[in-house]
Chains A and B, each alone.
Chain A
Amino acid sequence: MKKIYNYIFAGIIGASALFLVACNNNAFLSVDHTSVLSDTYMFQSETTIEAGLTGIYDTFYPTKSNLDEGDTYEWGFKPQFMLANHPTLDTQASGWDAAYCSEQWTSTSGEFLSVWEGHYRAISRCNAFLAGLEKMDVSLFAKGDAGKQQLEAEARAIRAWNYFNLVKNFGRVPMLETGETYLNTPSKPRPATDAESWALINSDLNFAAGVLDWTPRLGQYGRITKGFCLGYEAEALMFQGKYADAKTMLNTIITSNTYSLVPCYSQLYDMDKAWTKEDIWCVVMYSDNGSNSTTNGWNPTEDNYMCAAYNVASMEYGGWGSLFISWECYKSFEAGDKRRQASMVALGETNPWTKQTLGTHDNYKTVKIGSEHMPNVSSTKYWRIVCDYTIVNAPLTEHFLRYANILLDYAECCFQTNTDNAAAWNAIGQVRNRAWGNLEVDNNLAAANPTYPIPMNTTSVTVPDAQTYYSTLYASKAYTSVNVGVFACNWERRHENNAEFNLFYDLKRTGMITEFLNKEYPANTGTAGSYDDWRTYRTFTVDPNKFLYPIPNAELVSNSAITAADQNPGY
């Protein structure tokens, strides 16, 4: 009997063993990856390649999360305005940010890596997109090759924009091109010359400008346009000293009549506004959908939200101390220039939007505040809501390229080439005319906005003639690094673009930054550690090496084609 059982068991077990060995092991080991898409998804159809393009546009938004387990990006606002403004001292910061106001940053400072990685994230998406797009048959596109080229143009323009920002900050940077990935290009050197850097930027923008229209594709504002391409290519040419070419492009934009100044300067920064006639390129943060006003607010479920108010609000009212306006800048406005009231609030003044008065509380009654002695002046370009932790994220617009910039760039090109100086002063005059409120009168805004926090002008005012004013100011300050016209452009930018994204770059590009710091923020002037002396007490000596930021240390240690010897001087 036992033998029978044994044979039965042996048979069953043997059959089972055979079954196990015979079953499809590889099929069993192939598990579903239910939280990712196949890498081929993007290139299946026009719809899916559009999704890939959207993935590129997504890089304009901030990302404040550990999105992909190890790659953390915190950018989109703070690092950008810090790098574009703090070294000028027109904006200042307390705490660790203060290093950016004293040239104390290092190659290991996290902000550089954030900016570097963020821009390359976009470039990497562009390169992968373009490589796949190249292989897609034109028959997949409703408009054939034209449709395919439009997608290519938008992607190349975005790539150029990101490279341009990198070059402005870091000088020569590795130029990864279409199809280059880590796997096929584990290391990449810096170009040998600046010209090599500019070549790809110019090429991309040139191509895109030739393909795209003045108005965005599908009428969707948020897409790259011809104006974007020409505007940024002109600026890139200015960085290369090619002012005549830049002037031509800028004039093309002006004469296209696509853009115009928003009549009220203050309204550019109103919450919940998007895509004005003045915006050539901006990034719009959208309304809080409510789900972010809880404890989750600091890590929103989507990326198109911005808690900028916490960065810029007065510390007296809950701000983080990331953005103070210097008293020097505050005091540099001319009488009648409404831009100061629209963009900053100082001790004793009341924020027109939040109705909060600076200097109400103990410890904030002096012209300097906090242990770092920051000026008691705050920007109101982004602080137009109360920081009360109920509305963490605010709908605001980051204006990267406005028509006002185009006018000032055009004016500069005229002055740099010493041609059409009258047109140049006229362009500056247009910006100043809006600043004094005369466009509010022309457009009868007072009637349309009776309760606007800053009253609209109802009668025209006389704007001081730009040429006269700046000639006098230039002479009195005895600037020598630039001519009076370029000086005027930069001074106007100081007021027009304060706390935006270009002042430091314009000042260093035009060669005026050292003189600006020495004249407007003279070293060892003022009273160290004083709460009552409004002057910025600068102790550092301006170091020309600091006009380029350092290549992030993380790139140096992980890119074998770049060594410490390739680092920018001074780091």
Chain B
Amino acid sequence: MALLLFGVCFVSAQQNLSVSGVVSDASDGSPMIGVSVIVKGTTTATITDANGKYSMNAPQGSTLIFSYIGMEKTTVAVKSNVINVTLKSDSKVLDEVVAIGYGSIKKSDVSGSVASVDREQMMKRNPLNLAQGLQGAAAGVMVSKQSGDPEGATTIRIRGVATVNGSADPLYVVDGVQVGTDANFINPSDVESIEVLKDASATAIYGARGANGVILITTKKGQKGFTKINVTANFGVQNMTGKLSMANADQFASAVRQGRANDGTSITNQAFSTAYNGKLHNIDWQDAMTHSALQQNYTLSASGGTENSQSSFSLGYLNNEGVVIESNFKRLTAHATVMQKVKKFLEMGGSLSFVHSEKNGSGNLKNYATLTPTMDYVDGSGNLVSHDYLDRTSTGNYYAFQQVTGEGDIQKGQDNPYAAAKQADHTPTHKNTILGSAYMEVKLFKGLSFKTNASYKFTASDSTGFNTVNTRSITAITTPNYFSLKQTQQNDLGIENYFTYNWKNDVNNLTLMVGNSVTNSWGHWVSASASNFLSDTYRSIDLTSTQSTRLGSGGYDLQSRYISYYGRAMYSLLDRYILTGTIRRDGSSNFGEGNRWGVFPSTAFAWRASEEEFIKNMNVFSNLKLRMGWGITGNSGLLTNYTVAQLSSNRIAYYMGTLGGTSAAANNTELTGVASLKEIDTNLKWESNEQTNIGLDMGFFNNSLNITMDYFVRDAKDVLLYRSIRPSTGHSSIFTNAGHIRNSGLELSVNYTKQVGDWTLGVTATGSTLKNKVIDIGSPIYTNLDASGNTVADAGDQWDTHSVTQNGYAVGSYYGYVVEGIWKNQAEIDAANAAASKASGGTVTKYQAFGGNVKPGDYKYKDTDGNGYITGADQKVLGNGFPALNYGLTLTAKYKNFDAMIYMYGVSGMQINSYAAMKESQLYKTSGGIQNITTDYLSNAWSSTNPNGTSSLLTINDYNYNRQQSSAWVKNGDYLKIANIQLGYTFSQNLIKKLLLDNARIYVSVENVATLTGYKYGDPEVGNSSVLQTGFDGGRYPYPRTFTAGVQFNF
């Protein structure tokens, strides 16, 4: 089928030849669609059809020019009627156009640090969401999975962390629309290109929003030509990885006996006595709570159009079961774009995206691993009650732990988590997102254009829950059933207007851009609940049997508004000296009047040295460019009310009674009061990020080998944070500007492609170092809270100050005591106590003040301040969660119709603050009962019969606080992950053309193939959304290994 969009021949029949042929890809011989074929010096042109064929009339002796984006332009003289051509890939990728925000430029003209993501390689890894797709995409972009849950939460840090209480997530800009710090609503298959702006000279054009880097996403648009359909389908099977080696029931019972003996106490569950050794029913909760899970991912897209009207549409569906039972994630996406060239000087268009997602369940492998590995107990008659968590033989009923009224060997009210998951209400959390945008671009005069882009994003989420009466636990059995509903809505409206002017000649190239941006975000939330319903089938608040249990709440969210004015000038002299300057003035509603506006400038210079004759004459470099940039970006921090002096009546009330009255609230006078609930800094202002970048781009062997290096220093000043204040204020913190944080690092990216015969081999390696250091932040900030204000370590575990942010150390460093060994005997302890008493002049009587009596086998904490005994002052920084080196490696190979890829990544010089390791190593359990421990700890625990044991003794009461944050729980977290292996096959044209297909490929892949690490307490990839918990491992949803088979075809 011939496809002709252009092409009218104006030459006479006598002079012309009827020329036809096939244009194919030199790399694999496949026909190329849409290759432009032009008769040189004329307007005569055509393009190849779906089979790579073309035909046209051309004067004999004339020259045909074959061109296609990304391929080397080829010219052939017309000497015959049949001209077949093969096009080679254009190694001079420097002419590629990259987005830089409010415009795009040739890659060769980029003066800042901008990394383009290889979309093709990204999609081969079948990422669940955009953030996962960015893993390993660029040096200096550290992407860590937070957990293996089916939604695939991920943490992205571009050039480290430069804030304390704010978000360190980058800004996403989708088709020119700033969508915030989460773009996971975009189906990765809808993405056309991704650019990561890293340094301030690149991000400053986004001023107030660009402090943590900017990720520019361009979605697929319609292409002119006949409608093309693209279909992909992936089907995968997932299995849990990283199972922990825990004590079995007999080993656990032995540990309990030993722990009780060490504590001078007795077992309370007689099933743990030696009489039942070998008779206990073992339950492996890690196996019980996980299963093999299926993953399906389908996309269907269509695009096409004419010169003046182009459109595209895509649908996607993901159904991802979790490897933890009763957990799953489903997502439906739709994306449509349209472009209309109304006039030659006027273009209008828009896009509409819709995403619906449903999420159910969660999990944490550590919690399953540390649960008592048996439900056996001895009843009042002295009989061993032994059973599994599930009656597998007959009724399928769920068994329960022995329910005890006080704490002992079994936790009071311990529930059967398998039964809890199976019997839970499985109403998922729903989320719907609509993003619509429309633009108009006007070419006003020569070189001058104007573009306006308006967008609206609407996000609605809702969750419901119905808790039935839990009869498995005495602490819950009398809790009535309970129904709750919650809904939230968020609206984001934005308008961008900017003029662009370009003037150039053979020597100069000047581009000026000025613009204005306005955004407004608002929302509200509503929730309602009630308890005690007659039937578990009810789902109506009104039908509660106890009307007084009805609770309702809701309100407006705080609005967030921005106004910005910006400008940029780019000047290129002789195509080799490039100067860029930007300035942006931002106003934010986050601050009080007088502090709302910030000005953020940047400048960059690039020297394309390879264009200089003396470099060319060296015949070494095919590309050599030096880049230098400096700039300041801003950060307005968390959306907060803590900018205005304020009072509150929230739960401020007091009841006045009568003499001899009762305390029935209704009989008394309730007075509503007001009070200040927070110290407020009304002078809150912008947090600024100043960044200097020096970069070098080098290309060798006709750009088969490309090396990019960048060194940067990023200084965050006036950091917005919750600063600890003296508790004698009645408050613990104030949200204020304080401090100075520095990130510095070196980034390296190497790309090498080599074609040898039928083989095409490729290597892409990225590596980056990062040093994060607090220069000045005032008083240290100690915390046990994550970004949402939730406690991450259980109260009672003595981890309340495990994260410290203080001068001279990284943000969120690990803080605690230093373990210098194990007390070997009582004489050693007595001697230390005596020495402590002497050193203190008798004011202390023990070497360590905290805990109870120290025993042989307990951890010995180091007297770091040298005063002779242990106090809180002996705690020190134990490490941090920033690896010395973060690296990724992608190997690709192509042989005829086969292609293969291996992707791996890892970190080196990484330390993990492993709360999980502690939990998996200590019998002590804050919530009561006793938790299971690893076989490794069991064998290494000190005892009188194992005096060389390197781990603390087995203890249930843990008087010495062996569990507390200390160097014992800071573990080496280095790892290398073989993340993805894929093998694909592209069907030959001869085969697929019978099926009316243009292209077809099948593949198989394995995700999360292997992890090489010495870390034994779970997966060492410990991404955390809270900047103060970087490197903290609290256990997580297990990462699955996914075996996927897929097919891609288009027609």
Contacts and interface: CB of A to CB of B under 8 A. Distances in A.
Nearest to A72: B732
Given A284-B655, A294-B479, A555-B727, A220 B669 contact: yes
Contacts of B588: 29
A518 interface: no
B668 interface: yes
A143 to B, nearest CB: 18
A370 B266 CA distance: 9
10 contacts: A13-B442, A21-B565, A33-B644, A106-B850, A121-B730, A303-B653, A390-B478, A539-B853, A554-B727, A557-B782
A355 to B, nearest CB: 16
B659 A71 contact: no
Given A52-B675, A397-B663, A35 B654 contact: no
B871 A221 contact: no
Interface in A53-72: 53-58, 60-61, 63, 65-72
Interface stretch (A123-131, A237-245, A415-423): A123-131
Given A70-B733, A124-B676, 20 more contacts: A2-B345, A5-B346, A29-B588, A33-B644, A36-B648, A42-B647, A54-B674, A71-B731, A173-B728, A174-B726, A222-B654, A273-B663, A277-B659, A294-B480, A294-B529, A372-B957, A373-B265, A389-B477, A389-B479, A569-B843
Given A110-B800, A362-B380, A188 B728 contact: yes
Contacts of B674: 37, 41-42, 48, 51-52, 54-55
Given A29-B587, A117-B727, A395-B663, A302 B651 contact: yes
Contacts of B647: 36-39, 41-42, 55
B655 A554 contact: no
Given A28-B563, A555-B726, A5 B408 contact: no
Contact of A107 (B497, B529, B872): B872
B789 A181 contact: no
Contact of B593 (A26, A33, A50, A58): A26
A84 B475 CA distance: 30
Interface string B103-126: 000000000000000000000000
Given A29-B563, A68-B678, A71-B678, A35 B555 contact: yes
A479 interface: no
B724 A557 contact: yes
A30 B593 contact: yes
Nearest to A564: B873
B86 to A, nearest CB: 43
A401 interface: no
Given A52-B674, A116-B727, A295 B467 contact: yes
Contact of B405 (A222, A304, A361, A570): A361
Contacts of B851: 99, 104
Contacts of B477: 389
Nearest to B928: A95
Interface string B700-735: 000000000000000000000010111111111110
B662 interface: yes
Given A10-B444, A124-B730, A304-B653, A51 B789 contact: no
A468 interface: no
A255 to B, nearest CB: 20
Contacts, number: 381
Interface string A111-139: 00100110011111100100000000000
B427 interface: no
A182 B682 CA distance: 13
B756 interface: no
B1014 interface: no
Question: Which are the 5 A-B pairs with shortest beta-carbon distances?
Answer: A54-B673, A290-B548, A55-B675, A121-B730, A124-B730
Interface string B832-850: 0000000000011100011
A9 B442 contact: yes
Nearest to A25: B563
Given A57-B654, A274-B657, A6 B444 contact: yes
Given A286-B664, A570-B843, A316 B406 contact: yes
Contacts of B849: 104, 106, 571
B445 interface: yes
A222 B657 contact: yes
A304 to B, nearest CB: 6
B589 interface: yes
B658 A272 contact: no
Interface residues of B, number: 126
Interface of B: 260, 263-266, 268, 343-346, 380, 404-408, 442, 444-445, 450, 467, 474-480, 482, 497, 499, 516, 518, 529, 531-532, 546, 548-551, 555-556, 558-561, 563, 565, 587-589, 593, 596, 641, 644-666, 668-669, 671-681, 722, 724-734, 779-780, 782, 785, 789, 795-796, 800-801, 843-845, 849-853, 871-873, 926, 956-957
A457 to B, nearest CB: 22
Determine which residue in A10, A13, A34, A371 has the highest number of CB atoms from chain B within 10 A of its CB, and name it: A371
A286 B727 contact: no
Nearest to A173: B728
B202 to A, nearest CB: 26
Nearest to A188: B728
B648 A315 contact: no
A30 B726 CA distance: 31
A535 B550 CA distance: 49
B726 A187 contact: yes
B593 A70 contact: no
B243 to A, nearest CB: 31
B167 to A, nearest CB: 16
Interface in A4-46: 5-6, 9-10, 13, 16-17, 20-21, 25-26, 28-39, 41-42
Contacts of B555: 34-35
A558 B725 contact: yes
A556 to B, nearest CB: 9
A124 B731 contact: yes
A286 B673 contact: no
A106 B852 CA distance: 12
A301 interface: yes
A483 interface: no
A63 to B, nearest CB: 8
A108 B406 contact: no
B464 to A, nearest CB: 15
Contacts of A221: 656-659, 661
Interface string A61-90: 101011111111000000000000000000
A553 B268 CA distance: 37
B665 A553 contact: no
A296 interface: yes
A31 B591 CA distance: 10
A210 interface: no
B727 A120 contact: yes
B686 to A, nearest CB: 13
A188 to B, nearest CB: 6
B727 A558 contact: yes
Contact of A108 (B344, B345, B729, B872): B872
A553 B874 CA distance: 13
A369 B549 contact: no
Which residue, of B596, B680, B849, has the highest number of chain A Cβ atoms within 10 A? B849
B843 A124 contact: no
Given A290-B546, A372-B957, A557-B780, A55 B652 contact: yes
A60 B654 contact: yes
A91 to B, nearest CB: 18
A176 B730 CA distance: 11
A219 interface: yes
B1010 to A, nearest CB: 42
A287 interface: yes
Given A31-B561, A117-B730, A541-B845, A315 B650 contact: no
A58 B785 CA distance: 27
Given A102-B852, A110-B795, A58 B675 contact: yes
Contact of B658 (A2, A219, A364): A219
